[in-house]
Structure 1
Amino acid sequence: MIPTAELNDLLHAPGIEDLWDMHQRRMAGYGFDRIMYGATRYRSGAHLGDAEDFVILTNHSTDYTDVFIGEGLYHHAPMVRWALDHDGPCSWSLLRQMAETGNLSAEERKVFDFNLSMGVRAGYSISFRSVSPRTKGAIALTAEEGMRQRDVDAMWETHGEDILLLNNIAHLRILSLPYTSPARTLTARQREVLGWVGDGKTVQDIALLMGLTGATVEKHLRLARDALCVETTAQAVLKASFQNQIFMMEA
């Protein structure tokens, strides 16, 4: 039984860093000492969008992430592909079955072998239910080295519902908190002008409200579009809203 206080801590975490620290410690208590969370709001079919726009949280070593994420191995990871087509938890026994029956492509086999070489052998994946075809989130829970998949599966029989609940709460909280790559973080001025645009104000209105010239407002809008890597101000407002960079209470 998960203590109520622990659930409240997750629900009221002030930021992603605090939330993630609590969550990875709790998952380690179940034997998952390495975890990786990923989410996108820019999915189009099998394409997940620009990696710069992903929310990625992990405590894996850089030796692992530099290859799995940096070199794009995740594109061909069997459990990532499974997550795109399913909701809920899945035992990694599925991977062993696929490997033993020859149902892994050459690219998938490369990911499978890389994971084995890095001690990523046993665990569970959870694919979170999406409310839009453009969004998807999932988490990979890697068991401590030395744990066998059958041991993980036995543990899941006892604690799986609690683990699933904690991960769903963490996922929903992550989606509600500001998060973006440093290159796409807006300045306070850029957030403010986009917020006024979202409220239906014109450039002239914003200039008056902020005590700026129209040219300065236009400059902040242009820099916001550049930072967010979009073409129009409407797209900038949408992306900044998705990333919780505007219309948010200040910490």
Structure 2
Amino acid sequence: MSQTIAKLYELTNAKTVEELWEIHTKHMAAYGFKRLIYAFTRYYSSSAKVALGDPQDWVLLTNLSSSYVDKFVEDGHYFHGPMIQWALRNDGACSWRWMKEMIGTDLESQKEHEVIEFNKSYGIATGYTLSFRSVSQRSKGAIALIGDEGMSQDKVDQIWAQHGDELMVLNNVMHLKILALPHSGSRKLTTRQREVLQWVGDGKTTQDIAILLGLTAATVEKHLRLARESLDVETTAQAVLKAAFYNQMFVLDN
């Protein structure tokens, strides 16, 4: 079994997002990329003011410090990062050389400059961005493979020239695996909340669900209300859809 196939086997057999991410960070570190940040949203809209949706609905995975991530999100740097904007408009891989060549030119806006300087303050200056092909107009995923502090962009580009095909395959498989695994983020459902939503998804009424689960109709309504609150939606139909997006419908408890 080749090393690449062995890595793919590990990725495809991961049972949780956490396990998958631990495996993937180990693999990427072996190529020289010890720092990663992955993000995926199902609420992207090119015409919306907040184009990437509520950050609480993102799948955001990184081994960067929490202080970096908190500031990057809360200060809105994610929306103005040059490589993020590239990822939203493109599929495939892009060297950060393009971003470095843009610095100090008319192509660089003040907001982009602020993001670049913010990243530099955390030693984030070189790397590669991989933008995954979207499965719908509303979804988008990408990952940044960040060069170590002090690593030149030339060195990063050399790594990509030698291992780019393998890196692209491994990251694509990791991304597709994430899409298939349950992920709750901050939108955590209890087993009972998930159960009543599943029955709603099957077309059952509140009274039907009460009989099936041996509960009162009022208790079923309570679980549906709590599920709506957990998922931050107004209607039960929206709750069913969002739970499905998170792969929390019809899943087996570990």
Determine if the TM-score, normalized by the shorter chain, exceeds 0.5.
yes
Q: CA deviation at 1:119?
A: 0.7
Give the whole-Å Cα distance in 1 for the aligned partners of 2:123 and 2:7: 30
Per-residue displacement from partner, 1:104-131 (whole Å, max 9, x unpaired)?
A: 1000000011111211011000000002
Letter in 2 for 1:10: L
Letter in 2 for 1:161: D
Structure 1's unaligned 5+ residue stretches are none
Is the Cα–Cα contact under 8 Å of residues 2 and 162 in structure 1 kept in the other structure? Answer: no
Q: CA deviation at 1:221?
A: 0.6
Give the whole-Å Cα distance in 2 for the aligned partners of 1:14 and 1:205: 33
TM-score (norm 1): 0.97
Matched, 1:174 2:183: no
Per-residue displacement from partner, 1:182-223 (whole Å, max 9, x unpaired)?
A: 3x2011110000000001111111000000011111111111
Matched, 1:229 2:232: yes
Matched, 1:197 2:200: yes
CA RMSD of aligned residues (A): 1.1
Q: Count matched residues.
A: 250
Matched, 1:22 2:26: no
Matched with 2:63 is 59
Give the whole-Å Cα distance in 2 for the aligned partners of 1:124 and 1:2: 22
Per-residue displacement from partner, 1:13-43 (whole Å, max 9, x unpaired)?
A: 0111111001001111111111000000111
Structure 2's unaligned 5+ residue stretches are none
Matched with 1:118 is 122
Matched with 1:238 is 241
Q: CA deviation at 1:100?
A: 4.0
The SS at the match of 1:56 is strand
TM-score (norm 2): 0.95
Give the whole-Å Cα distance in 2 for the aligned partners of 1:201 and 1:58: 40
Matched, 1:86 2:96: no
Moved over 4 A (4+): none
Matched, 1:73 2:74: no
Alignment of 1:77-156 (within 5 A): 77-156=81-160
- Percent of aligned positions that are identical: 55
Give the whole-Å Cα distance in 1 for the aligned partners of 2:135 and 2:66: 32
Per-residue displacement from partner, 1:223-248 (whole Å, max 9, x unpaired)?
A: 11111011111100000000011122
The SS at the match of 2:39 is strand
